[in-house]
Amino acid sequence: KAGVTQTPRYLIKTRGQQVTLSCSPISGHRSVSWYQQTPGQGLQFLFEYFSETQRNKGNFPGRFSGRQFSNSRSEMNVSTLELGDSALYLCASSLAPGGGTGELFFGEGSRLTVL
Amino acid sequence: EDQVTQSPEALRLQEGESSSLNCSYTVSGLRGLFWYRQDPGKGPEFLFTLYSAGEEKEKERLKATLTKKESFLHITAPKPEDSATYLCAVYWGSQGNLIFGKGTKLSVKP
């Protein structure tokens, strides 16, 4: 069974640009959540989608947005990039929304560097 | 103020030297506490879910326990392959919020 696939794995952008990251969940999983991981702040929740609807959103500015498609694939977008957006962005999929069982299956992440 | 605190930040053990990692939380309305393992360059890997105080879960050399305000991950006779960062996360509140601790980086030397 294929795991969670995130693309691209690495990318470098400059301040002011925008970026789109993609996540393909495990087949049959309808819930996708996104996290930002940095050495100083650890893993921070960005947002969660279930059946194309955003269920929950973390405390991030509006420059961070996402969406989910009918095949459960998800994308997140960061506009007007800032140096502080440099991080590992992780996507996780699960059968049920809300992470209630804790059984989140994570991808390997997209490492974004903003110069 | 951090709502989920893990200690120590880093732990170095000799192979076979048992120890415990701590995860304390201050949220109310806990619905679940989760432990994950994260290897360098990888996403976290799910280990355990604990739902109520007194609950214990075991997997190989790992045992997780939960009290009303903290959880422990006990590692018995660790091996070098247990080296990783261990993350805990709490799921709480009526809307279902998930907060991660910053992790404990475990190094096991042969």
> Mind giving me the DSSP string for A28-64?
T--EEEEEEEETTTEEEEEEEEETTEEEEE-S--TTE
A109 touches chain B (CB under 8 A): yes
- The average pLDDT across A97-106 equals 78
Q: Residue B64: its pLDDT value, please? A: 98
Joined together, the tokens standing for residue B19 give: 């120890």
Q: Let me know: does B35 contact B100? Beta carbons within 8 Å.
A: no
Q: Which residue has the higher pLDDT, B1 or A94?
A: A94
Residues of A in contact with B43 (CB under 8 A): 4, 90, 92, 106-109
Q: Residue B93: its pLDDT value, please? A: 82
Residues of A in contact with B32 (CB under 8 A): 100-102
Residues lower than pLDDT 70 in chain B: 1-2
**Other beta carbons less than 10 A from residue B4's beta carbon:** 22
Q: Let me know: does B70 contact B25? Beta carbons within 8 Å.
A: yes
